[in-house]
Amino acid sequence: MNGSYFEQVVFNAIPGTSPVNTVTLNGNNQILEFNPTVATSDHILQLNGVTHMIVENLRVTSLHLTQGRGIHITNGASKLVIRNNIVNVSLTNSTSSAFGIIISGANWLLDGSLSDSVIIENNTVSGGYSAIQLSGVHWTQPLTRISVINNNVLDWYGFGVYLSYTNRAWFPKTRSAGHYEATPAATQLHRPVLLCRRDR
């Protein structure tokens, strides 16, 4: 990529990709930003059913004050590497409507994705209710072989890394620094890593 881009970008399934035919999106440290005002379609970069793809060296920013999914992996997108990116979403959000890197279905609170073999590595993710949120469909249909390695997750409100319905998840060396309010509500959780409904 060359130059800055103000738009939403969606990659759907790409014909011909395979372990020896991998598509690489190299951002060259350029900026992809957007102000997503429609809550049901608030991604900046979406990988929809894509396989065998690398996204690297890209700066992804949501300009909306309270919502936005920086990099949204969905619809079974698999065999992916997300590395060396800088992702910025809302720093003021205190509800579940902003996420830095997320694997989910269309409804990020209720739906998961049957994604497999995803590596999320060496990224810096700032803001969001969860900086990184990864959700399978059900304990019988989990995310599998997910690696979250050596990332910096900063200024998140609820969770640094949130995993739900995962199988064989691995997340070493992720550094987390959350956003803690001076007097958070008694029921509010602020956790660097939460494993919820992990299969094994």
5-56 residue pLDDT tens: 999 999 999 999 999 999 999 999 999 999 999 988 999 999 999 999 999 9
More confident site: 53 or 190: 53
Average pLDDT, the chain: 85
The yes-or-no verdict on residue 200 having pLDDT over 70 is no
Domain hosting residue 82, numbered range:
5-196
d(CA 47, CA 198): 24
Question: Residue 161 maps to which CATH number?
Answer: 2.160.20
The dihedral through the CA atoms of 133, 139, 140, 144 has a sign that is positive
Strands 86-88 and 124-126 turn out to be: parallel
Work out the percent of the chain whose per-residue pLDDT is above 70. 84
pLDDT of residue 188: 39
For the stretch 95-137, pLDDT in tens is 778 999 999 988 766 688 989 999 999 999 999 999 999 998 8
Location of structure tokens 């957007």: 34
d(CA 47, CA 95): 24
The yes-or-no verdict on residue 196 having pLDDT over 50 is no
Q: Per 3-state DSSP, what percentage of the chain is helix, strand, and coil (rounded to 5)? A: 0, 55, 45
Claim: this prediction has a pTM higher than 0.85: yes
Please calculate the CA angle 57-60-65 and round it to the nearest 5 degrees. 160
Say which amino acid occupies 182.
A
Q: How many domains does the chain have?
A: 1
For the stretch 130-172, pLDDT in tens is 999 999 888 788 888 999 999 999 988 888 888 888 887 777 6
Alpha-carbon distances of 127 from 66, 75, 94, 98, 124, rounded to whole Å: 10, 24, 10, 8, 10
